[in-house]
């Protein structure tokens, strides 16, 4: 009797795949990372990028880089117009008007720009002498040493004269006021029907009053400055008087001497 041993069935070993594993591709993300903003540069039109030809710059200085688009704040420089420049502009304006009646009309337009004086300034001390009409002139010097003028008249033509002169000289330095000549104003030749000379005299009289009162204010300011210098002596001033010999009272009796001899002996005044 053949006895056969039962066959044992073994599970087949797992098959080893020789094919490469296919990697699953990741899907493209739906968001994009935020990158820092790039600085944009614009090309200067004066820069020649064609290196094979000779550059033809439009400016006199060389430019070797692109101009950044970031603009610096613009700086404006203001230039104060001098009294001489204003005078030349005014003379040129009236010379451009060939007809005398047109010059008178232009003068009346200037008269409308003149601010009227109050009654407190219409005093005899402010009257301009020599004018056929009544003209008042108020003159002051501001804290910066510049002249300030106000004027008024009972005649519209005279108001126009005053308005032109105030436009030229208001805010000017004293030396600018003194440098204006009456001949410069006579070239405007404003007048009709034989009244040219009387109106030229109005120019001259108002200008002369402006200059005389300007000179008076300059002298008063100089006297006030000298009076401040004559204040009671400080201890520092006593030292100066002692170095020069004698007492301070003896040295202060005469005129002030601001020369270098007043400096102490130990003071190094080498520049």
Confidence at 14, pLDDT banded by 50, 70, 90:
low
Average pLDDT, the chain: 71
* 264 contacts 239 by C-beta, under 8 angstroms: yes
| pLDDT (tens digit per residue) in 57-68 | 454 444 443 443
Confidence at 36, pLDDT banded by 50, 70, 90:
low
d(CA 207, CA 210): 5
Please give the structure tokens belonging to residue 205: 């009289």
Closest CA to 211 of 167, 252, 175: 175
pLDDT of residue 234: 56
- At residue 25, the 3 state secondary structure works out as coil
Mark whether 162 is an active-site residue: no
Q: Burial level of 241, CB count in 10 A (0-12/13-18/19+)?
A: middle
Domains with residue ranges and CATH for the chain: 83-228 (3.90.1010.10), 232-252+259-271 (no CATH)
Confidence at 71, pLDDT banded by 50, 70, 90:
very low
Task: Please tell me the pTM assigned to this model.
Answer: 0.55
* 136 contacts 153 by C-beta, under 8 angstroms: yes
Closest CA to 135 of 215, 217, 211, 203: 203
* 114 contacts 152 by C-beta, under 8 angstroms: yes
Percent of the chain with pLDDT over 70: 50
The mean pLDDT value for 44-73 works out to 47
E strand or H helix that includes residue 101: helix 100-112
41, 131, 162, 164: which one is catalytic? 131
pLDDT of residue 203: 83
């Amino acid at each position: 009797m053949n006895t056969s041993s039962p066959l044992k069935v073994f599970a087949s070993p797992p098959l080893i795949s020789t094919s490469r594993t296919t990697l699953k591709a990741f899907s493209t993300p739906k968001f994009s990372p935020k990158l820092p903003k790039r600085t944009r540069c614009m090309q200067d039109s004066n820069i020649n990028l064609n290196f094979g030809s000779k550059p033809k710059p439009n400016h006199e200085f060389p430019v070797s880089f692109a101009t950044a688009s970031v603009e610096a704040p613009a700086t404006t420089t203001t230039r104060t117009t001098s009294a001489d420049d204003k005078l030349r502009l005014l003379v040129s304006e009236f010379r451009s008007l060939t007809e005398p009646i047109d010059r008178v009309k232009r003068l009346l337009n200037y008269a409308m720009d003149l601010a009227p004086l109050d009654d407190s300034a219409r005093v005899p001390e402010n009257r301009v002498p020599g004018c056929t009409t009544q003209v008042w002139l108020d003159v002051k010097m501001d804290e910066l040493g510049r002249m300030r003028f106000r004027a008024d008249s009972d005649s519209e033509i005279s108001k126009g004269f005053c308005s032109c002169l105030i436009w030229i000289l208001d805010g000017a330095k004293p030396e600018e006021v003194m440098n204006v000549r009456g001949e410069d104003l006579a070239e405007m030749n404003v007048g009709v029907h034989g009244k040219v000379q009387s109106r030229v005299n109005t120019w001259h009289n108002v200008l002369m009053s402006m200059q005389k009162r300007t000179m008076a204010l300059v002298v008063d300011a100089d006297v006030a400055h000298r009076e401040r210098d004559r204040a009671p002596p400080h201890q520092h001033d006593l030292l100066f008087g002692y170095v020069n010999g004698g007492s301070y009272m003896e040295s202060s009796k005469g005129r002030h001497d601001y020369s270098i001899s007043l400096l102490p002996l130990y003071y190094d005044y080498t520049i």
